[in-house]
């Protein structure tokens, strides 16, 4: 092994024994004998292992060592210089954070590594050149230190990959510049310069403009059209300004046409930023939104019924007419459960209202309150933005999803889970004809007719399709929740039931009927009832008529299809009361049942209440009057025009009478 001891190149005893000397003892004897003669082997120091001066070795041993190590002096000098090479952490930070002017990007990683190697070598060169001991070692002959250092770094170039000058004079200049300016002098001046760009800004703008034309050309077509422009076959007009593109702007410094390859055009069109810009014009918003546009990242609410997401879809299988049944779903977001559904052959507002109505029936059945927030789209629902879907009107919050941004709606995800997780399991023919996965491609039965080839599809009745979907909803709701880590062993309906938001507003059927129920106008008759849908509905009590407008007995009646025994009446959008359907009783006393007796009692109570209110009103709101004619008036009525009073002669005294209520009045 080669070592340096006090600036003397040495070889260890282990390297010489037993290759060249039989034993270490014999080697020591040989050194001792040569020392007396003043020539031959020379031992250096008394260290362990023992060291012998390389220069004192016989030529045959030197040749043997050269065969193993190569040029020993060069390798030794390389090793000595490598001792000065140390990582420069400041250089690593500087080059990794350096932003190229006018381009706004960092240096490529290979360039950062190259510049760090240059800085590391220059640091070693400056330390070696300033070290007097290093200067003496480097001289060793007629050449100066910079020539020796230049030889060393040239030898190490392939090993370390630096890019310092090979000429020692240029190297010396670079080292001096580095000593004064630091790391910045190592960055090539070409970075950030636009002079080397073959594709100018004007040419890039023109290439992109051709690429976004309405016929959506290929890149090769873009290049052909551009070459036709250079040849003068076509001209381009900027439709925004009305200006023609000037061919003079598409020539190089020598005046030659600026021609680019198809690969260059492809690279600039597919630059990440340019790709997003051209796709925004070449594609519809939905495609562009899903491909490039950033989106929000959310997580589901903690409590159930904090949000309900609504969306429509076409059922996969066709109805007997060849059309698809339209469905509208209401999904509770936390659990993913379906809480409302409606079906129709038409995609109209009644489809949406039917879903809301079904959702309210579900909420009422389980004694839930109103959902805190509804997530809806503008299609179909926009008609209700000022009443039912106005925030604070029925629901505290309403989120209107952005048009075309289907990924915003939670219902989109739930529809996919229901379709491929449950519909596919319980129904045949579920899938998409353009699906990538083979299992989702529905099987097609084709037949040839006179009109050509046609696909034969199995069709079902409207009732069958709706029944199958409701069965699937039941299976879906009772299936395990998707997030089993959060809700281990819980089904969707269990998650809904066990995590209800404690701040829900209580369910109010009168409020619900106003927006989702059936409606008709009617008139309150005999201060008792109104007729709705061939049935008679009684006011809760006579005093309710005080809430009506003067001389106006016309009201709006609303009722829920699930409960047609009760109607809720409004007048000018103001709630009046709830009216129950009047149950008639048998006129024949001998045939009356227990229900007849109850109906008779209820009607008698209302009539008695009416009579009591009339008697109380007579006693409190009216008095018995008699007019007495005065001979002298305190005020001259004729001289006061503002007193528009017509003098009426006193009436004849009225006879007293007593009001006797009817207790057996029955309206057949």
Tell me 613's DSSP state. Answer: H
Gap between the Cα atoms of 311 and 376, Å rounded: 7
pLDDT for 379 equals 81
Question: What are the residues whose beta carbons fall under 8 Å from the beta carbon of 150, sequence distance 6 or more?
Answer: 166, 167, 168, 171
- Helix (H) / strand (E) containing 591: none
**Token pair for residue 88?**
């420069």
The share of the chain scoring above pLDDT 90, in percent, equals: 28
Q: Judge contact between 496 and 332, C-beta under 8 A.
A: yes
pLDDT-based confidence at residue 62 (cuts at 50, 70, 90): confident
Residue pLDDT, tens place only, 228-249: 998 889 999 888 888 888 888 8
pLDDT-based confidence at residue 307 (cuts at 50, 70, 90): very high
Gap between the Cα atoms of 217 and 234, Å rounded: 16
Gap between the Cα atoms of 195 and 48, Å rounded: 64
Residue, of 322 and 640, whose pLDDT is higher: 322
Which ranges constitute the DSSP H helices of 243-348?
262-269, 272-282, 285-291
Question: Which pTM value belongs to this model?
Answer: 0.60
Residue pLDDT, tens place only, 271-297: 888 888 888 889 887 788 778 878 778
Q: Is the dihedral of CA 446, 449, 453, 458 positive or negative?
A: negative
- For residue 658, is pLDDT > 50? no
> Which residue in 139, 460, 552, 493 sits closest to 331, CA to CA?
493
**Residue 433 CA: distances (Å) to CA of 412, 429, 436, 444, 665:** 19, 10, 9, 9, 70
Lowest mean pLDDT among 27-41, 306-320, 547-561: 27-41
- For residue 656, is pLDDT > 80? no
Gap between the Cα atoms of 209 and 290, Å rounded: 23
**Token pair for residue 94?**
């500087």
Residue pLDDT, tens place only, 418-428: 988 888 887 77
> Which residue in 241, 240, 239, 245 sits closest to 226, CA to CA?
245
pLDDT for 139 equals 47
pLDDT for 141 equals 46
CATH classification for the domain delimited by 308-498, as one of 3.30.465.10, 3.40.1410.10, 3.30.420.10, 3.30.70.240: 3.30.420.10
Q: What are φ and ψ of residue 89, in 5° steps?
A: -70, -30
Longest dimension (CA), the chain: 175
- For residue 667, is pLDDT > 50? no
- For residue 374, is pLDDT > 50? yes
- The pLDDT mean for the chain works out to 82
Residue, of 298 and 565, whose pLDDT is higher: 565
pLDDT for 660 equals 42
**Tokens 């005020």 -> residue:** 635
pLDDT for 197 equals 52
Q: Judge contact between 190 and 196, C-beta under 8 A.
A: yes
- For residue 516, is pLDDT > 90? no
**Residue 509 CA: distances (Å) to CA of 309, 383, 568, 668:** 21, 22, 9, 30
- For residue 532, is pLDDT > 70? yes
Residue pLDDT, tens place only, 455-502: 667 889 999 999 999 999 999 999 999 999 999 999 999 999 999 999
- Three-class SS of residue 329? strand
Residue, of 580 and 663, whose pLDDT is higher: 580
**Token pair for residue 426?**
């319980």
Q: Is 99 left (phi over 0), alpha (psi -120 to 50) or beta?
A: beta
Gap between the Cα atoms of 220 and 194, Å rounded: 26
**Token pair for residue 45?**
């120091």
- For residue 393, is pLDDT > 80? no
pLDDT for 467 equals 94
- For residue 194, is pLDDT > 70? no
Q: Where along the chain do its domains lie?
A: 2-70, 89-186, 201-291, 308-498, 516-582
- For residue 124, is pLDDT > 50? yes
pLDDT for 661 equals 45
Residue 533, Cα to own-chain centre: how many angstroms?
48
Q: What are φ and ψ of residue 398, in 5° steps?
A: -135, 125
Lowest mean pLDDT among 329-338, 433-442, 454-463, 464-473: 433-442
- For residue 198, is pLDDT > 60? no
- For residue 643, is pLDDT > 60? no
The share of the chain scoring above pLDDT 70, in percent, equals: 83
pLDDT for 252 equals 79
What average pLDDT does the segment 519-547 reach?
Answer: 92
């Amino acid at each position: 092994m080669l070592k340096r001891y006090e600036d003397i190149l040495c070889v260890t005893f282990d390297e010489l024994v037993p290759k060249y000397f039989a034993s270490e003892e014999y080697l020591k004897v040989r050194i001792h004998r040569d020392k007396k003669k003043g020539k031959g082997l020379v031992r250096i120091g008394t260290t362990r292992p023992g060291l012998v001066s390389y220069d004192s070795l016989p030529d045959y041993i030197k040749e043997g060592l050269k065969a193993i190590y190569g040029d020993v002096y060069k390798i030794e000098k390389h090793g000595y210089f490598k001792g000065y090479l140390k990582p420069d952490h400041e250089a690593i930070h500087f080059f990794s954070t350096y932003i190229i002017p006018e381009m706004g990007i960092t240096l490529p990683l290979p360039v950062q590594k190259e510049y760090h190697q240059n800085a590391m070598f220059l640091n070693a060169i400056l330390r070696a050149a300033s070290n007097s001991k290093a200067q003496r070692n480097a001289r060793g002959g007629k050449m100066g230190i910079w020539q020796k250092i230049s030889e060393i770094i040239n030898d190490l170039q392939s090993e370390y990959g630096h890019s310092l000058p090979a000429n020692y004079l240029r190297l010396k200049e670079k080292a001096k510049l580095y000593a004064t300016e630091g790391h910045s002098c190592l960055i090539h001046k070409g970075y950030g310069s636009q002079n080397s760009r073959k594709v100018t800004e004007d040419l890039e703008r023109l290439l992109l403009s051709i690429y976004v034309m309405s016929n959506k050309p290929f890149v090769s077509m873009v290049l052909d059209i551009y070459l036709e422009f250079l040849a003068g076959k076509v001209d381009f007009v900027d439709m925004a300004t009305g200006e023609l593109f000037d061919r003079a702007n598409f020539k190089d410094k020598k005046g030659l046409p600026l021609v680019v390859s198809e690969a260059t055009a492809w690279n600039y069109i597919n630059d990440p930023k340019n790709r997003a810009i051209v796709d925004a014009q070449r594609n519809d918003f939905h495609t562009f939104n899903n491909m490039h546009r950033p989106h929000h990242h959310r997580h589901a609410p903690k409590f159930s019924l904090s949000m309900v997401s609504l969306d429509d879809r076409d059922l996969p299988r066709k109805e007997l007419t060849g059309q698809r049944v339209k469905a509208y779903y209401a999904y509770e977001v936390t659990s993913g459960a379906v809480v409302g559904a409606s079906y129709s052959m038409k995609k109209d507002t009644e489809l949406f209202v039917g879903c809301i109505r079904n959702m309210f029936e579900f909420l009422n059945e389980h004694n839930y309150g109103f959902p805190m927030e509804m997530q809806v789209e503008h299609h179909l629902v926009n008609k209700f933005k000022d009443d039912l879907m106005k925030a604070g009107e029925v629901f505290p919050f309403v989120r209107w999803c952005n048009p075309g941004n289907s990924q915003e709606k939670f219902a989109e995800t739930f529809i996919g889970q229901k379709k491929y997780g449950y519909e596919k399991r319980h129904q045949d023919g579920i899938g998409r004809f353009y699906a990538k996965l083979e299992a989702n491609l529905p099987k097609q039965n084709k037949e040839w007719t006179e009109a050509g080839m046609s696909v034969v599809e199995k069709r079902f009745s409207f009732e069958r399709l709706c029944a199958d979907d409701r069965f699937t909803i039941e299976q879906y709701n009772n299936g395990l929740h998707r997030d089993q880590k959060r809700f281990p062993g819980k089904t969707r309906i269990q998650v809904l039931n066990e995590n209800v938001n404690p701040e829900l507003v209580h369910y109010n059927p009168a409020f619900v009927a106003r927006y989702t129920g059936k409606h008709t106008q009617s008139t309150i008759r005999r201060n008792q009832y109104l007729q709705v849908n061939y049935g008679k509905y009684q006011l809760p009590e006579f005093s309710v008529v005080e809430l009506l407008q003067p001389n106006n007995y016309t009201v709006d009646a609303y009722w829920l299809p699930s409960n047609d025994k009760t109607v809720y009446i409004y007048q000018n959008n103001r709630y009046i009361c709830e009216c129950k359907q009047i149950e008639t009783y048998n006129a024949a006393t001998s045939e009356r049942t227990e229900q007849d007796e109850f109906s008779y009692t209820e009607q008698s109570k209302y009539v008695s209440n009416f009579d009591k209110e009339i008697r109380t009103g007579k006693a409190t709101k009216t008095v018995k009057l008699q007019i007495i004619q005065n001979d002298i008036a305190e005020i001259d009525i004729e001289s006061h025009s503002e007193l528009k009073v017509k003098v009426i002669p006193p009436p004849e005294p009225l006879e007293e009478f007593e009001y006797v209520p009817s207790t057996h009045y029955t309206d057949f």
